[in-house]
């Protein structure tokens, strides 16, 4: 019995290893930045990471559900762009009020995710193929609306974009950060305290085992893609507030950033293991890389992609090592 307890403790320790590595990496990057640049180690710099990446955090939360269930969603970046285009088009060119536009955008994103999940489950097609088709469809719809950027001058959008919520110590955050934190809190409750969350982990661990246990595999699979679609649309709404425009080329490559944040945060690409806290740390790492490069001033912005690609490769290799030791 003692050996079984010890073995379980070792397994749990291995599961936490990527999360620990990400935490150490984040602290080390802050240390390097504070040593090289004055004013880098401050509360507002950390809050700015959340302000600038609130939309990415929301999208990454939805991606976490999908990856935990053993899937992948390549459509999220295009869905974010489509959300910005629909919002700008309806508000600026047709005079729709934001109170109608925002729920419509969220419904479109959720419906698209639901449809992709249904196709994946019903026809047993690889998620990569279905969501890739969804990506092309959503991006194409953007350019059928307009090939140009549509600026937003609506008072509600501009007021939201310019609002600062004060915090103690002369710090502040944007309303988008509060929305992202709210989404994170709801997602945490769903994943760790509801039947759907338990089904998501079980599905990612082994779909065949989940079927044998009588779990609703089809409903769970459709639900995670619907959640991802909702989070993508909401991320698009937040990006619309951030950019005050809709454009078909917004969020190009965002799906890779979301996947990178989830993987760097310790969620296994094969599914079944991972934590939302890790996704938050992953988003902060990506944002901090961009901040360090902007503080440095002489490096091209493409170095951000290079560094993220290198980190993603390292964490995938780390996952493989952990999975290999489990089998051993």
- What is the full DSSP assignment across 91-142? IIIS---HHHHHHHHHHHHHHHHHHHHHHHHHHT--HHHHHHHHHHHHHHHH
Q: At what angle do helices 254-264 and 302-327 cross, to 10 degrees?
A: 40
- Mean pLDDT of all residues in the chain? 90
The pLDDT of residue 6: 44
pLDDT in tens, 234-279: 999 999 999 999 999 999 989 999 999 999 998 988 888 888 999 9
pLDDT in tens, 56-84: 999 999 999 999 999 999 999 999 999 99
The pLDDT of residue 319: 76
CB 216 within 8 A of CB 110: no
Instruction: Write 9-16 long-range contacts (CB < 8 A, 24+).
Output: 11/326, 14/322, 14/325, 14/326, 15/273, 15/322, 16/266
Report CA-CA distances (Å) from 79 to 116, 134, 142, 190.
Answer: 12, 8, 9, 23
pLDDT interval class at 312 (50, 70, 90): confident
Residue spans per domain, the chain: 18-30+40-323
What's the CATH number for 18-30+40-323? Answer: 1.10.3470
pLDDT interval class at 13 (50, 70, 90): low
CB 22 within 8 A of CB 262: no
Q: 0.95 exceeded by the pTM? A: no
**DSSP per-residue letters across 67-90:** HHTT---S-HHHHHHHHHHHHHII
Report CA-CA distances (Å) from 162 to 72, 159, 176, 179, 242.
Answer: 35, 5, 11, 15, 9
């Amino acid at each position: 019995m003692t050996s079984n307890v010890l073995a379980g403790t070792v397994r749990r320790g291995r599961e936490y290893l990527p999360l620990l590595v990400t935490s150490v990496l984040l602290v080390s990057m802050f240390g390097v930045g504070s040593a090289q640049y004055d004013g880098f180690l401050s509360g507002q710099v950390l809050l700015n990471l959340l302000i600038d990446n609130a939309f990415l955090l929301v999208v990454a939360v939805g991606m976490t559900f999908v990856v935990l269930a053993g899937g992948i969603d390549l459509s999220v970046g295009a869905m974010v762009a489509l959300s910005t285009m629909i919002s700008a088009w309806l508000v600026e060119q047709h005079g729709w009020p934001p109170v109608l536009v925002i729920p419509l955008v969220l419904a479109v994103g959720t419906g698209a995710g639901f449809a992709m999940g249904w196709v994946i489950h019903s026809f047993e097609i690889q998620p990569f193929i279905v969501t890739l088709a969804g990506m092309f469809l959503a991006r194409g719809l953007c350019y059928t609306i307009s090939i140009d950027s549509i600026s937003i001058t609506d008072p509600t959008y501009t007021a939201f974009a310019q609002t600062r919520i004060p915090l103690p110590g002369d710090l502040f955050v944007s309303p988008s950060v509060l929305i992202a934190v709210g989404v994170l809190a709801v997602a945490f409750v769903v994943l760790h305290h509801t039947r759907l969350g338990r089904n998501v982990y079980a599905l990612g661990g082994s779909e065949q085992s989940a079927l044998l246990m009588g779990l609703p595999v089809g409903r769970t699979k459709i639900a995670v893609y619907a959640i991802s679609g909702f989070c993508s649309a909401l991320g698009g709404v937040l990006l619309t507030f951030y950019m005050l425009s809709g454009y078909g080329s917004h969020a190009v490559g965002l799906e890779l950033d979301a996947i990178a944040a989830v993987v760097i945060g310790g969620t296994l690409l094969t599914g079944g293991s991972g934590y939302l806290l890790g996704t938050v740390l992953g988003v902060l790492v990506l944002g901090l890389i961009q901040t360090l490069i902007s503080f440095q001033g002489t490096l091209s912005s493409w170095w951000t992609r290079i560094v993220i690609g290198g980190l993603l490769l390292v964490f995938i290799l780390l996952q493989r090592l952990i999975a290999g030791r489990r089998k051993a």
